[in-house]
Amino acid sequence: MTLSSVESKTLYAGNGSTASFAIPFMFLRDEDIELVLSTGQGERPLARSTDYSLSGAGEQTGGLCTLAAPPAQDEVLVIRRNPAMVQEVDYVENDAFPAATHEAALDKLTMICQALAERLDRTITFRVSSAVTGVTLPEPEPGRSLAWNEAGSNLTNKEVVALNGVLLPLAVAQGGTGGQSAHEALANLGFGSLGMALAASADPAQARAALDAQPADPAILTSDTPATLTAGYAETPKPYAGGDIAVSAGSLRTVDTTGGVTIGMITGVGRVTLLATGGGAVAYDAGYTMVIGEYDASKAGCAVQAVNDGTNQWLLFAKTEA
């Protein structure tokens, strides 16, 4: 017989119900057929007699494969002819020429060639016009990728960064900072223009300029202020009982510093004003980014403003009484 078809593999998509599949090419023995079930997680070879049965060996039109369980909808059944690459025909001298046996051997040889061609069709090859020869794959190395060597003559393992596969600077959305410098990185990470200006300040004067703040001037404060000034506060000053003073954005608080107080970190974005009265010392949490001015216990009063822009926190001390 002849082999007029070059087909040696066929694929079927599962539907969860069909279990019988046609084999559209000739195979000499059941052992020559190989079945593989492919899923999104990988491939699983099927075992003859256990997972499937065959019929039609030796038929030029092909045969039939029947599975013990139908493939699911997300599975693909691969039927491939993969004959053993051995020569089993023995010619006896002076015997009549065994035409049928000889033709069967030629058929098997052709099937072996078709099986090899199917494998080669799934490999990476160079163009017909390519003059490159002798290219080999290096041994796998964890964390490295395949790349051409400097001469472009063979493959080697290289670090991903060396391949320019990671573009620097890496975008914030990809886990980087997107900046070429520390200043750009902080800005891209949302440090804020005010925070950037304060971070770049070399002294309190520059910090005040960044905040658009002016030092307290008694002349300005008293020039248009009555001799007697009545002010209302959100709460009555109370002696400090110990522990940090908890401050939150948007509030106005008064505190008696007798015995000494410590101003804690401001919670919430914004600012809070504290009116400190008394002769005790005023300390502050070490977490504040910058402190402008200082509290003088010898003065009877002082306004303390805590600012939080979401990235940094500052304290500003302003004398209110001589």
- The beta strands (E) that lie in the chain are given as 9-13, 20-23, 33-39, 42-45, 52-55, 63-67, 76-81, 144-148, 155-159, 244-248, 252-256, 261-267, 270-277, 282-284, 290-292, 301-308, 313-319
Question: Poorest-confidence range of 39-43, 186-190, 198-202?
Answer: 186-190
Of the ranges 136-140, 209-213, 243-247, 292-296, the best mean pLDDT one: 136-140
- The single residue listed with the structure tokens 């990809």 is 174
- Is residue 195 over pLDDT 50? yes
Q: What is the pTM of this model?
A: 0.49
The identity of residue 63, as a single letter, is G
Angle at 266 between CA 263 and CA 272, to 5 degrees: 90
| Residue 14 exposed, middle or buried by CB count within 10 Å (0-12, 13-18, 19+) | buried
pLDDT digits (tens, 9 = 90+) for 89-115: 989 999 999 998 999 899 999 999 999
Q: Are 69 and 44 in contact (CB under 8 A)?
A: no
Residues 202, 145: Cα–Cα separation, whole Å: 47
- Is residue 237 over pLDDT 50? no
253 three-state secondary structure? strand
pLDDT digits (tens, 9 = 90+) for 31-84: 999 999 999 889 999 999 999 999 999 999 999 999 999 999 999 999 999 999
Which strands, in side-by-side order, build the sheet including 52-55?
A: 20-23, 63-67, 52-55
Kindly state the tokens that stand for 156: 């080697």
274: which DSSP letter? E
- CA nearest 269: which of 305, 304, 312? 312
Q: Are 292 and 313 in contact (CB under 8 A)?
A: no
pLDDT digits (tens, 9 = 90+) for 118-130: 999 999 899 999 9
Kindly state the tokens that stand for 117: 């061609």
Kindly state the tokens that stand for 98: 């065994």
Kindly state the tokens that stand for 235: 């709460």
